[in-house]
Structures are given as structure tokens and as C-alpha cells.
Amino acid sequence: MERLRYKFVSGAGGGKSMVPAVKFRSQLLVEVLDHAETEGQEAFLVDAFTDLILDDLEQEGRWPDYQISHYATRGAAVNAWAIDHTLRRLYLAITDFERTETVGTITRTEINTLLKRLAGFITRSRERRIEVEDHHPVADLIDVSADHVLYDSVALYVLTHRNAPEFTPDPPVVGGVDAVSARIWDLETIRRSRVSGERLDPISIDFTGLDGGLPCLAADRHDDVQTYLAYIPGQRLADIYLEHGGRLLERNVRAFLSARGKINRGIRDTIRDEPERFLAYNNGLTATAASVRIRSSDSGDRIERVHDFQIVNGGQTTASLAVAARDGDCELEDVSVQMKLVVVGPELIDELVPNISRYANRQNNVQESDLSANNDYLRRMDEASRTVWTPATASGRPTKWYFERARGSYAVDQMSSGRASVQKRFLAEYPKKQKFGKNEVALYENTWARLPHLVCRGGQKNFVEFMERLPEPPGQDLDDWYRARFRDLVAKAIIFKSADSTVRREFGGTYKRQVVAYTLCYLLERASTPPDLGLIWRTQQIPDAFDVAIAEVGQSIKDAIIETGDGRNITEWTKQEACWLSLRTLDIPFDEFGDANTGWSPPQAAATGWSPPSVAGAAWAAPQVSTETRTEGTLALSDAIYEAQGTLIEGRYRRYRRRKWRYLGDTEVEATGGETLHAYAAPMRNSEGHDYIFNVVVDVRSQTITPVEDLDARRRSRVMDWLEDRGYPG
């Protein structure tokens, strides 16, 4: 009788401290509010929460590039979607979010109801029973859903800010689709993923179905690293990839260099024509695991089970086998792939993975410089973010911008600061709005490089393109070069964040990513003078004229994207260079912002006939109002106030900076200290695309700007009557 022995081999490791649930909930709410950058509009907060969580899921390889697309009706709803063409899987998400700092619990009944609404949406879409306008946010999703050949499985996700009970929901029925899965991503899951730094649901593979396991050879163990050599049947490897998708490659450095959804022709030909020689021709793959179960017997060792399995080299081989198996045009029963399995603890994984990929046999001409540039550039940006301070601006003390090289490191660094007072200093040094990750770096840089079609391809794919275009650093003065590059990067971040806020506010969330990217690229392409990055870095804001230009061009860009799409899927159209080539030549008028690089200067006071009081506290002089100011409506609000009332009042919101404001007059409604409220108006457009007039009143004495709708009931009624009596829209 053969004697069996078992070994359990694992790498050493440890976890990170966790943030209490209540505190994390508060932190997450602040992040959602910052991300939304709206004055509390609940629909935008839901979109912001959805975007934040799906960005995490995309970085983990759980979701492909996604679209925020809100739709809700009785029995059918959706908040976001994505499609993985390799796996032929359609992803849909529905969001449960409310603005509260209390940690609540979502019930099973509520979860099942949300899943049924998702299933209702996809079922009706497949049958073309949901009718929307051609350019509604979910129009593209309906088209994809109705094209049954694009997918044969559906993954449903519930995203919630509450904690969910521990249970696996039964997937609801989706008409015409047999393979349906359901997953809950709740507050506790988000907290574990973001704060602990752990990979949730690490991939465990059972090989016992292959004659009791994979035959293997073990090398000697050194420095907490154990290496095994084995070969794996091609069909089993394909099945693993088809089940786990991109998560299998989340640590694959080569995924950033070559994962384009293309299948290697040489691999495909070998599978089809000479499958028995695949093992001889192919370089194989390298994988890592946190632990492995080995069965030893007189006939040798076999790998029965691996835990936290990741492929770090050989991703294209794996994906090519999966596509061949899925399409059924190649037989894999004679295909085997050699595998080097490295068992290593989490404390060494980030150090070893780049080196494994660097020194492994290379395919498709992956160069050493590609891999080292990836690592060196990100490391240098990380170092700069810890040492480079912003200039002190009018808003207060200098601060820093935090580059989150590793996802979740911001929260970890904040909590590791210790006492509340130390954490407060950390937040003062690194404000929450001043952080960005690797995908955002690519977002800012490729926008500045006027490559909107790449930006629209999503975080990971855009990052691939960016890393391939990294400039060579100089041979000397590297520290100064990287610090200067970091300062320019922050200026580009300020530009993009400002444009994102303006586009969301002025034109709504439909195709926001595409409109922001194409609007900025158009302005950078057509402006006679580009924005001064040095000025933006010094002031930590974009010039008012640039913000106005974004608002002027944005709607035309959005209309042009839809028109040139000519009925095509808009999200797919904007990913094509042809879209950019058609838009960059358009003649869209806008006020040049190049002269604004020197900063804003107010109109000359002499134009108003007003002079300020010479003694503090003296009575305010009645302003001499220009009749031109009443009718032109071509000034930013601060300029209109200065011209009409002779004082400077800076509005807090960027919509006040649009050159659309006009002075309406003195409402004679009492303000502070015996003064009266003065009215101003500007045309605006809401998130649904409807035009309206936005009215505000200015209290010069208290230096405040207040929307009419926010006044107390008595004064609001009197101001509205005043507007109506003079024929102004209320």
C-alpha cells in the first residue's frame, strides 16, 4: 500500500489594522461628497458612490471598464453596467445609498428586491420593452442587452453603504439567460478591501480532480519563498480563467503591457495545428500563491490545492487558451502548459512580482525598460508626493497632494497616525480632495496629451497606453526632474477635477467622462496659448477664463459626440480615434483663456463712478449702476458685482464664474445693517438638460451671495414678487 504524506506550505504574512465601522462610514461619506462635488443633490451622490466602488472593483479585476447609467421604474432599475467581451459576460449594478453617517443594515428582503429590479431591467431590455430617447444614459445598455450574441452570462451586483447579513443570495431569473450570478458589495466588504489591504475572496484552486493533483517538483526553500515546477492541462487553465477572469491576473505586471483583448496568433495556430507541441513551443506561465497543499507519496509529490492563486507571467497564454476553449474552434485535450509556482508571503509579493516578470522569459518583445519604467516612475511619484508642498494660497497654509500608489494606502496612513490630533494634522497636510491613484495619473496625463479616445477606454486600458508613452528621464538631476513632473501632474489634476465638476454641474452626468475628456482636449488643441501649469500650481486653481471656456464648449462637444456617432453606441464611438479626428476640426467659439494665465484682475472702479468709504464702518455709498450691466449678461458674478456695486465678493461655486451674469437691480428687501439685497441672474442648465434662470441676491455689508430659493420664506416671497413685477423669470 502506498504511504501518503501531506504538507501545507505558506508564506509568512500579517494584516493591517482596521478602521472601526462607524469611523470608516464617515470617511466614506466625505469621500462620496468630495467625489460628487455638488451641493447635496442626492442623484449625484448615488452616482459618486457607484463610481467609487466600481473603480475599486475594476482595479481588483472584478469588473471591466464600466458606465454609470441610472434608470429606475417600477420593477426595473440599474445604476451601472459593463461587458467583458472575452468572457462574454454582462455586468449590472444597482446602488443602495443614502446620505447618513449611521451604520445601518440592509435586510435579505431588500437585497432580493434590488436584485429582482436588476433582473427586471435586463429581461425587459432583452425583449426591447424599455423605451428611452436615443441619447438616454441607458440607451447603449439596452442595445447591448438586446444583442444576445454579445454575452451568455450575467453578473448582478448590489452596491450598498449598509452592512449586509452573511448569506449568498439566490440569483433571480433573467429571461433567456441561464448563467446568472449575484453578489453583494456592502460596507464591511468595502472596509476590508480598502483599509486592510487584503484581497477579498482570494482565488483557491482545487486540482484533485486531475488524477489526485498536479505532479510537481519542489526546489529548496529560501527566505520564505518555496518554488514548485509543474504542468497544467490547457483545458483546466482555460476553465480557471473563464471562471475568475481578470482577477486571476490582478498582479500580472504584463497585463499592464499587453492586455488589449487581442489573442496571440501564434498561440492560436499552435493550439489548432500542433496541440501536442504546445508544451515545447510555449514559454509557460509563472504564478504565485500564499499557500499550497502538497500530497507526497512513493510515486512523487502532487499539488492538490493552492490558495490565493495569481498568474504574474503568461497572461496572454492563459487568455488565448480561454478564448480558444470558449469559441470551440480548437481542441485543448492535448495541450499542456508548464507552470512555475512561487509560494510567497504578502510582505514580499510587491517586491517579487516585478522581478519575476522582469527576469522571466519574455514574449511579444516586452522590454526591460517597460517594466523598470513602470516601477521607477510610480515609485518616484510616490516619493514626490511625500516631500513636495504646495505654495501657500489665499485659502491658508501649504498642503500636499497624496499619490495613492497602493489602493487604500491613504486610509491606512491616516489611521496609522495614531491619536485623533495626529490624524487631524495628517488630514490638514493631505486634504481628502488632494489624492489620486495610478489610473488618475494616466487620466490627467493622457488628457493633457490630447488623447481623449484613450481616456474613454477606461482606467486600466488607459493606464496601459500611458505607461507605454512614458518619456525617458534625463541622465542627471533626476530628483529635480521628478519633482517638476509631479508639480505639473498636480496642475493637470486641478484642471481635470475642475472640468469634471463644471461639466457635471452644467450638463449633467450623461456621458460625463467622455464630455470632460473631449472638451479639455478640444480646448488644449484649439487655444492659442495653453494653460500655464506653473500658475495653476502656484494658485492651486484654474483661471476663471479657463473655467468659463469649459462651460462654453462643453455642450457643443456633447452634441457633436452624439451627432458624429450617427446612431452608434456612444461609449464605444468615443473610444475610437476616428471620433477625436472628427471633433478636433470643429469650429466651436470660445473666449481665449491664454491671457488669463497672469491671473484675474477686476474691472476698473472708475467705470462705476463708485469709491469705497474712507473710514472703516462708514455708511455704504449708493452705487452708480451702469445700464449696460443690466442687459449684456457677459460677466462673471464677481465682475458684475464689482461693476454694479463697487465691491469684491468671491462666490464659492464655480457656476458664479460663468460669464453670463447680469445685474437686475435693488430689490429694496432688507439685508444686513439697514442695507438692501441686490439681485443678479444668469442662464443655467440642469442635470436633465432643461434651461432655467438662476437668481441670487447679494448682501454687500455681510459679503454674502445667496440663491433666492435659500432665503427665509418672508424675504424669498418679497424678492420673487419684485422679480415678477419687473418681468424677470423667478
Within a domain: 341: yes
- CATH at 145: 3.40.1350
Band (pLDDT 50/70/90 cuts) for residue 372 is: very low
Q: Tell me what the pLDDT averaged over the chain comes to.
A: 80
* pLDDT tier for residue 39 given thresholds of 50, 70 and 90: very low
Residue 703: pLDDT over 50: yes
Write down the pLDDT at residue 599.
38
Same domain, 564 and 478: yes
Lowest mean pLDDT among 88-102, 248-262, 616-630: 616-630
pLDDT at residue 632 in the model: 45
**For residue 397, is it within any domain?**
yes
pLDDT value at 631 more than 50: no
DSSP of 157-191: EEEESSB--S--PPPPPBTTBSEEEEEEE-HHHHH
* Pair (191, 280) in one structural domain: no
Q: Are residues 628 and 579 in the same domain?
A: no
- Kindly state whether residues 64 and 181 are assigned to the same domain: yes
Phi, psi of 91 (to 5 degrees): -110, 135
Decide if 475 is inside a domain: yes
* d(C-alpha 190, C-alpha 162), whole Å: 10
Mean pLDDT calculated for residue range 85-109: 89
Asked if residue 165 and residue 236 are part of one domain, the reply reads no
Contacts of 450 (CB under 8 A, 6+ apart): 521, 524, 525, 584
Residue 730 lies inside a defined structural domain of this protein: no
Is residue 196 predicted with pLDDT exceeding 70? no
Q: What is the pLDDT of residue 582?
A: 92
Alpha-carbon distance 445 to 503, whole Å? 19
The CB-based long-range contact list for 661-665 (8 Å cut-off, 24+ gap) reads 661/633, 661/635, 661/636, 661/637, 662/629, 662/630, 662/631, 662/632, 662/633, 662/635, 663/625, 663/629, 663/630, 664/630, 664/695, 664/723, 664/726, 664/728, 665/625, 665/630, 665/726
CB-based contacts of 344, cutoff 8 Å, min separation 6: 11, 224, 225, 226, 288, 289, 290, 352
For residue 48, pLDDT over 70 is answered with yes
The per-residue pLDDT for range 200-258, each reduced to its tens digit, is 678 899 999 888 899 999 887 776 788 999 999 999 999 998 888 878 875 444 444 33
User: What pLDDT score was predicted for residue 205?
Assistant: 94
Question: What pLDDT, on a 0 to 100 scale, did the predictor assign at position 271?
Answer: 86
Q: What is the mean pLDDT of residues 68-88?
A: 90
What confidence category does residue 134 fall into, taking pLDDT thresholds of 50, 70 and 90? confident
Residue 16 included in any domain:
no
Q: pLDDT tens, 378-436?
A: 889 999 999 999 987 655 678 999 998 876 678 767 766 667 788 888 888 998 889 99
Q: 471 lies in a domain?
A: yes
| Of 153, 177, 195, the domain-final residue | 195
What domain range includes position 219? 5-10+201-365
Domain boundary among 566, 598, 630: 598
Number of domains comprising the chain: 4
Across 129-133, 535-539, 726-730, which has the greatest mean pLDDT?
535-539
Q: For the segment 453-486, what is each residue's pLDDT rounded down to a tens digit?
A: 999 988 878 887 888 788 778 777 788 889 999 9
Q: What is the pLDDT of residue 473?
A: 80
User: What's the CA gap between 95 and 467, in Å, rounded?
Assistant: 33
Residue, of 518 and 690, whose pLDDT is higher: 518
Q: Please, are residues 590 and 553 in contact by the beta-carbon 8 Å criterion?
A: yes
Question: Which of the residue ranges 168-172, 372-376, 485-489, 583-587 has the most confident prediction, judged by mean pLDDT?
Answer: 485-489
Single-letter residue type at 2: E
Together in a domain, 357 and 384: no
User: Does 117 lie in the same domain as 264?
Assistant: no
In terms of domains, do 133 and 211 share one? Answer: no
**pLDDT at residue 262 is higher than 50:** no
31/24 Cα distance (integer angstroms): 10
Q: Decide if pLDDT at 185 tops 80.
A: yes
- 273-277 — which CB contacts under 8 Å span 24+ positions? 275/234, 275/330, 275/331, 275/332, 275/333, 275/334, 275/335, 276/334
Q: What is the pLDDT of residue 45?
A: 87
Q: Residue 654: pLDDT above 60?
A: no
* Domain annotation covers residue 622: yes
Place 672 in a pLDDT band, splitting at 50, 70 and 90.
low
List, as one string, the DSSP characters of 325-350. HHHTSS--TT-EEEEEEEEE-HHHHH
Highest mean predicted confidence (pLDDT) among 97-111, 583-597, 705-719: 97-111
In a shared domain, residues 584 and 611 = no
Residue-wise burial string across 459-495, b where 16 or more C-beta atoms lie within 10 A, e elsewhere: bbbbbbbbbeeeeeeeeeeeeeebbbbbbbbbbbbbb
* pLDDT(299) > 90: no
Residue 440 banded pLDDT, cuts 50, 70, 90 = very high
Domain boundary among 320, 340, 365: 365
Q: Using only the alpha carbons of the chain, give its radius of gyration.
A: 29
Q: Are residues 283 and 354 in the same domain?
A: yes
Question: Within this chain, do residues 190 and 215 fall inside the same structural domain, yes or no?
Answer: no
15 found inside a domain: no
Q: Do both 185 and 249 map to the same domain?
A: no
What cell was used for 603? 474691472
